[in-house]
Chains A and B, each alone.
Chain A
Amino acid sequence: MSSPDLILETHSLRRRFVTRKPLLGPPVEVRAVDGIDLRIRRGETFAIVGESGCGKSTLARMLVRLIEPSEGTVLFENRNITSLRGEDMRAMRRDLQFIFQDPFASLNPRMTVGALIEEPLRAHGLGGPDERRTRVAELLERVGLLPQHADRYPHEFSGGQRQRIGIARALACAPKLVIADEPVSALDVSIQAQVVNLLQDLKDEFALTLIIIAHDLAVIRHMADRVGVMYLGQLVEVADTDTLFTRPRHPYTEALISAIPVPRVGGPPPGPGLQGEPPNPIAPPAGCRFHPRCPYATAICRSTPPSLVPQASGASVACHRASELVLQGLRDTGTGRSPAAEQRFALYRAMRAQREGSNPSVSQHPDPEI
């Protein structure tokens, strides 16, 4: 098997935070990310999923050095970015861009939208003033806004529009890899769909590699090629999206999938699912960190931590019982929607296409509000 073209790798990546310094004794630390080995393939969309507090944002930020690791390395195109300095570091920043969940918090409120999008171009010395202005106008149009929006301020825009601004800014320098931390989590369903489509279009257009963090498993199922499942600072399963959803191999993945509310009427009511909440990362359980909540735990799980091992299926799983357990994937995939609903969707699509010309892409559709 030829080895895939890797754009980004991490080796034993760790990050600890000191949460409290008692007068006596050692400081209290939380191991937010605790030994992650990622291998991201060029051109793929890789999703990271897990309950809140499991270390997704800390991991994502270390990948672009918004946070420094405590231990381990991040290799971008085979270069260790954790030791880059000066000019090399600036060049790396151009290739690696970050999209935040709350674009408003990440955008300077006193800068116009145009200046915000132009800033990375200027920082990297790309183009003269006129070229940069043209580029800003192009980017605004590309993300579904209007060139004249360049003169406005972030607070004049809705949540979905701000996310478009954040995306335009991230794309300004034509990066190779974009990391998006919960980019659609705060948006309403209809706006979320617009941004999901936009991200997918831009990924193809700019030949990006995309790492997306989300807790909405339906969004992940729709967007990702591969998925990494995190639990308490560690990866517990990495697999192709289809494989992961239909044949999960880790009990935690099974639990996450069974908890998705499925938008179909009449299926068997879901059970209570996984009990308890994630334990405190300050004092993670011994052995397998999932064992206090795992319905399949045995003696070895309480004493020995499992490591992430490649399986015959191509997935990697950190579970002592991975090869023997038969786990449940998505309920209810086969049934589909009712014929009447399908007909209604077809009608809706056709009407939209008819009104807007051939391409029913909303990313071309400036918001009428402004």
Chain B
Amino acid sequence: MLRGARMTDRAPLLQISDLSIRFAGVPGNLVDGISLTLNAGETLCIVGESGCGKSLSALALMGLLPMPPAKRMSGQAIFEGQDLFDLPLETLKDIRGNRMAMIFQEPMTSLNPAIKVGEQIAEAVRRHKGATREEARDRALEMLRRVRIPAPEKRLDEYPHQMSGGMRQRAMIAMAMANDPALLIADEPTTALDVTVQAQVLDLMRRLQRETNAALILITHDLGVVAEMADTVMVMYAGRIVEAGPVRQVFEDPQHPYTIGLMSSMPDLGPRGGRLVTIPGVVPPADAMPEGCRFAARCPFAGPDCAIAPPLRDLGGRHRVACWRAPLECGAPDLIAQGVAT
């Protein structure tokens, strides 16, 4: 009887389907058929090498891609019941910085160097919440406190350049979270930081997320960060999703040759081993993407059938893989027979 109500309860916060992006002058899609689902309070990590389309996907979602030269070839992004790709600019601006917010590797992408940090946060609050100057300033102070900036009263009146790198990162997070967004997109927020400061920033994001139940899309190229932060993970290669699913499944039962290569390329933290097992070669350039599987030129499992692009198939339990050989033990039976994989 309550089915209708329950279904709305469970409607995902964000559902992207078949997002493809192209740039003028580049023949192939730079983002090619991305689909994903994200629930409130959930953390999705997007991982992949530079140039694989992580930032483009995130910027498209925020409506921040320059169009032209960028062009969305297909796709829907239903966020809180509305298609983000089909909204008037004014409506999108109301959502941005309010219901969804984005932070970057370089804090000065978001912060204005000429305006005091407190004023910038307060302004973000006033724009969306119609708060008075005083209320907005109080909120800015509260946010600086929540991101654990020492002496927040004093910092309100500082300019970004008066802060250290780690402090600016916190100020940017404070601004992004000031309006309690339902979705935070973080594009490599800790890539430029020392491990110690990275640990602080990740801890901060986890804590804010617990307090607000926001969903988080965290873009990173560090599988360690993925393991610590993600509920679900999406591995991208050359503009496509090659593997996605609950983080435990992907780490403990990796299926795509690229995911496996990436994991074995990482130096293990265990006792010292010999050589790293690597992925040969490099990512194909954007203007020479193969028609079929984009990983084929580097893939040790590739065969003639890989000249046709493999679809992203669900192997069960939301574990999705785009490889003709998946599940691998069935796809490479000759090696199993030789006893290699037992």
- Chain A residues at the B interface, C-beta cutoff of 8 Å: 51-52, 158, 160-161, 188-194, 196-197, 200-201, 215, 217-219, 221-223, 241-242, 245, 255-256, 258-267, 269-275, 277, 330, 332-333, 336-338, 340-341, 343-352, 354-356, 360-362, 365, 367-369
Query: In the bound complex, do residue A265 and residue B252 qualify as a contact, i.e. CB atoms below 8 Å apart?
Result: yes
Bound: A348/B80 CA distance, A: 42
- Interface residue B154 (Cβ < 8 Å from any Cβ of A): no
- Interface residue B25 (Cβ < 8 Å from any Cβ of A): no
Query: In the bound complex, do residue A194 and residue B227 qualify as a contact, i.e. CB atoms below 8 Å apart?
Result: no
Query: In the bound complex, do residue A365 and residue B281 qualify as a contact, i.e. CB atoms below 8 Å apart?
Result: yes
The distance from the CB of A362 to the nearest CB of chain B, in whole angstroms, is 4
Bound: A285/B49 CA distance, A: 40
Q: How many contacts between A and B, using CB within 8 angstroms? A: 207
- Interface residue B67 (Cβ < 8 Å from any Cβ of A): no
Interface size on B, residues (CB 8 A): 68
Query: In the bound complex, do residue B203 and residue A271 qualify as a contact, i.e. CB atoms below 8 Å apart?
Result: yes
Query: In the bound complex, do residue A270 and residue B203 qualify as a contact, i.e. CB atoms below 8 Å apart?
Result: yes
Bound: A191/B221 CA distance, A: 12
Bound: A349/B276 CA distance, A: 10
Bound: A137/B196 CA distance, A: 43
Show 14 A/B contacts (Cβ-Cβ < 8 Å), sorted by A: A188-B50, A189-B265, A194-B278, A261-B195, A261-B222, A277-B167, A340-B252, A343-B341, A343-B342, A347-B328, A347-B335, A347-B341, A348-B300, A349-B264
8 new A-B contacts, CB < 8 A, other than A261-B227, A262-B269, A264-B251, are A190-B261, A242-B272, A260-B224, A261-B195, A262-B227, A347-B260, A350-B341, A368-B297
Find chain B residues with CB under 8 A from A258 CB: 199
CB contact between A344 and one of B204, B206, B254 (< 8 Å): that residue: B254
- 8 nearest CB pairs, A to B: A261-B224, A222-B267, A193-B265, A338-B252, A351-B300, A259-B199, A272-B203, A350-B340
Query: In the bound complex, do residue A191 and residue B282 qualify as a contact, i.e. CB atoms below 8 Å apart?
Result: yes
Q: Would you list which residues of chain B between 246 and 300 have a CB under 8 Å from chain A?
A: 247-248, 251-255, 257, 260-273, 275-282, 284-285, 297, 300
Q: Which of the listed residues A190, A201, A217, A266 has the most CB atoms from chain B within 10 Å of its own CB?
A: A190
Query: In the bound complex, do residue A349 and residue B277 qualify as a contact, i.e. CB atoms below 8 Å apart?
Result: yes
- Interface residue B226 (Cβ < 8 Å from any Cβ of A): yes
CB contact between B260 and one of A158, A266, A348 (< 8 Å): that residue: A348
Find chain B residues with CB under 8 A from A201 CB: 275
With A261-B227, A340-B253 already in contact, the answer to whether A369 and B261 are too (CB < 8 A) is no
Give A272's nearest chain B residue, CB to CB: B203
Bound: A261/B190 CA distance, A: 12
Query: In the bound complex, do residue B269 and residue A362 qualify as a contact, i.e. CB atoms below 8 Å apart?
Result: no
B149-174 vs A, CB cutoff 8 Å, 1 = contact: the mask equals 00000000000000011110000000
Query: In the bound complex, do residue A222 and residue B300 qualify as a contact, i.e. CB atoms below 8 Å apart?
Result: no
Query: In the bound complex, do residue A215 and residue B194 qualify as a contact, i.e. CB atoms below 8 Å apart?
Result: yes
Bound: A358/B247 CA distance, A: 34
Find chain B residues with CB under 8 A from A346 CB: 340-341
- Interface residue B200 (Cβ < 8 Å from any Cβ of A): yes
Bound: A68/B133 CA distance, A: 55
Query: In the bound complex, do residue B275 and residue A338 qualify as a contact, i.e. CB atoms below 8 Å apart?
Result: no
With A350-B341, A368-B281 already in contact, the answer to whether A218 and B269 are too (CB < 8 A) is yes
Bound: A348/B301 CA distance, A: 8
CB contact between B206 and one of A245, A269, A356 (< 8 Å): that residue: A269
Bound: A108/B272 CA distance, A: 37
Find chain B residues with CB under 8 A from A266 CB: 248
- Interface residue B94 (Cβ < 8 Å from any Cβ of A): no
Query: In the bound complex, do residue B281 and residue A369 qualify as a contact, i.e. CB atoms below 8 Å apart?
Result: yes
Find chain A residues with CB under 8 A from B257 CB: 348
Find chain B residues with CB under 8 A from A356 CB: 280
Query: In the bound complex, do residue B224 and residue A273 qualify as a contact, i.e. CB atoms below 8 Å apart?
Result: no
Bound: A310/B188 CA distance, A: 40
Query: In the bound complex, do residue A193 and residue B278 qualify as a contact, i.e. CB atoms below 8 Å apart?
Result: yes
The distance from the CB of B1 to the nearest CB of chain A, in whole angstroms, is 39
The distance from the CB of A30 to the nearest CB of chain B, in whole angstroms, is 15
Query: In the bound complex, do residue A330 and residue B269 qualify as a contact, i.e. CB atoms below 8 Å apart?
Result: yes
Find chain B residues with CB under 8 A from A352 CB: 277, 280, 300
- Interface residue B223 (Cβ < 8 Å from any Cβ of A): yes
Find chain A residues with CB under 8 A from B255 CB: 344
Give B259's nearest chain A residue, CB to CB: A344
Query: In the bound complex, do residue A365 and residue B196 qualify as a contact, i.e. CB atoms below 8 Å apart?
Result: no
Query: In the bound complex, do residue B195 and residue A215 qualify as a contact, i.e. CB atoms below 8 Å apart?
Result: yes
The distance from the CB of A285 to the nearest CB of chain B, in whole angstroms, is 16
Find chain B residues with CB under 8 A from A344 CB: 253-255, 260, 328, 341
Bound: A254/B226 CA distance, A: 22
Find chain B residues with CB under 8 A from A158 CB: 282
Find chain B residues with CB under 8 A from A256 CB: 195-196
Find chain A residues with CB under 8 A from B49 CB: 188-191
Query: In the bound complex, do residue B332 and residue A351 qualify as a contact, i.e. CB atoms below 8 Å apart?
Result: yes
CB contact between A218 and one of B226, B254, B263, B267 (< 8 Å): that residue: B267
Query: In the bound complex, do residue B225 and residue A261 qualify as a contact, i.e. CB atoms below 8 Å apart?
Result: yes
- Interface residue B213 (Cβ < 8 Å from any Cβ of A): no
Give A190's nearest chain B residue, CB to CB: B279
Find chain B residues with CB under 8 A from A191 CB: 49, 282
The distance from the CB of B332 to the nearest CB of chain A, in whole angstroms, is 6
- Interface residue B39 (Cβ < 8 Å from any Cβ of A): no
Find chain B residues with CB under 8 A from A337 CB: 252
With A338-B253, A347-B341, A348-B260 already in contact, the answer to whether A219 and B267 are too (CB < 8 A) is yes
Query: In the bound complex, do residue A341 and residue B253 qualify as a contact, i.e. CB atoms below 8 Å apart?
Result: yes
CB contact between A262 and one of B224, B252, B264 (< 8 Å): that residue: B224
CB contact between B227 and one of A189, A263, A340 (< 8 Å): that residue: A263
The distance from the CB of A245 to the nearest CB of chain B, in whole angstroms, is 8
- Interface residue B110 (Cβ < 8 Å from any Cβ of A): no
The distance from the CB of A16 to the nearest CB of chain B, in whole angstroms, is 22
With A197-B276, A197-B278, A346-B341 already in contact, the answer to whether A263 and B194 are too (CB < 8 A) is no
The distance from the CB of B141 to the nearest CB of chain A, in whole angstroms, is 21
Bound: A341/B253 CA distance, A: 5
Query: In the bound complex, do residue B248 and residue A221 qualify as a contact, i.e. CB atoms below 8 Å apart?
Result: no
- Interface residue B228 (Cβ < 8 Å from any Cβ of A): yes
The distance from the CB of A281 to the nearest CB of chain B, in whole angstroms, is 13
- Interface residue B11 (Cβ < 8 Å from any Cβ of A): no
